[in-house]
Amino acid sequence: MKRIWLVKSLISICVVLLLTCGIFAQEKTFQQMKSQEVSDSDGLPVLLKHLPDWENVRNRAAYANSIDDLRQALGERPVFNSIDFVPGTEAVTAPYNEGALLIVEFATPQGSVETDSKVNQFLAEAGQNSPFIYRRIGNYNAFVFDAEDETSANGLLDKVKYEKTIQWLGTNPFLLRRAERAFIEDTTDLFIATLLIIVSGLGLAIVAGIGVGLIFFYLREQKRSTMAAFSDAGGMIRLNLDDLTPQITSERLLKD
């Protein structure tokens, strides 16, 4: 019994050591990667921590700063030709139940916008046979490969948050430009709103005028249809020289 217990203890110790070495090797691998931004606490790339539930998938995640690293982690994907790994570009990928998630971060917004345009063009050419689900989130270009369905893939992309903000140590050099843009946008909105109100008022006035004219015309036609004969005097007393005015009977005359 002691021998069996000793063997089980040795096996347990070996398993713990292997897991510990694996985690340490993984952290060491991530620390050796050249990332633009690393965590001060553990030296891991910040992009890795932007993966959904990153603490549970960190051991299966792969960091990349070149297209060859991406191909090694995810295999050959035609859309990789649309991603240009300029200096400063980095990516991280990890497998999930919904599919393989890939997040690519560019050093500048221009790089992310250009890649977004290329990827959307690739999806437009692919049509309904799209091999992945894609979304641009902040300065991230996020992909879900081998997705089970579009709904679950979009749910996974909803968990990716771009939380980086820019804070100026001094005066914001773009403050005047933002104020000018805000003034132009507000003035444009005010002009459009005023124009819509004027056009709407004119339209309502025209419609109301046409309606009142039709009602007046209809009432005049009804009144004219009850007249025995046309009178250019408008129903007033006139000399019956042309025998058009109806004869007034003596019954309607005033008596003495």
* Per-residue pLDDT tens digits for 165-193: 655 566 766 678 778 888 898 999 999 99
Q: Is residue 248 part of a domain?
A: no
pLDDT in tens, 30-48: 444 455 566 656 667 777 8
- What is the structure's pLDDT at 39? 63
Residues 140 and 178 in one domain: no
**Better-predicted residue by pLDDT, 246 or 132:** 132
Left if phi > 0, otherwise alpha if psi is -120 to 50, otherwise beta: which for 43? left
**Residue 253 in domain:** no
Instruction: Give all strands (DSSP E) within the chain, no chain letters.
Output: 62-64, 90-95, 100-105, 132-137, 140-145
Query: Phi and psi at residue 242, in whole multiples of 5°?
Result: -110, 10
Residue 32 to residue 44: CA distance in whole angstroms: 9
Could you tell me if residue 147 is inside a domain? yes
In a domain, 109, yes or no: yes
Asked if 135 and 69 sit in the same domain, the reply is yes
Which structural domain, as residue segments, surrounds residue 82?
32-158
Q: Are residues 121 and 212 in the same domain?
A: no
pTM over 0.75: no
Average pLDDT over residues 124-150: 86
Residue 4 lies in a domain: no
Q: What is the mean pLDDT of residues 205-234?
A: 80
Q: Which of 139, 158, 177 is the last residue of a domain?
A: 158
| Phi, psi values for residue 111, rounded to 5° | -65, -40
Predicted pLDDT of residue 237: 59
> Out of 34-43, 92-101, 137-146, 154-163, which region has the weakest mean confidence (pLDDT)?
34-43
235 falls within a domain: no
What is the number of domains present in the chain? 2
- Tell me how many degrees the CA angle 88-90-93 measures, rounded to the nearest 5: 180
Query: How does residue 126 score in pLDDT terms, banded at 50, 70 and 90?
Result: confident
Cβ-Cβ contacts under 8 Å for 141 (sequence gap 6 or more): 83, 103, 104, 105, 106, 112, 115, 116, 119, 134
Among 140, 116, 136, which residue's Cα sits nearest to residue 47?
140
Q: Are residues 65 and 154 part of one domain? A: yes
153 and 173 share a domain? no
Strand order in the sheet with 90-95: 62-64, 90-95, 100-105, 140-145, 132-137
For residue 49, pLDDT over 60 is answered with: yes
Give the end-to-end CA distance of the chain in Å, rounded to a whole number.
148
For residue 198, being part of any structural domain is answered with: yes
How far apart, in whole angstroms, are the C-alpha atoms of residue 191 and residue 209?
Answer: 27
3 state DSSP class of 211:
helix
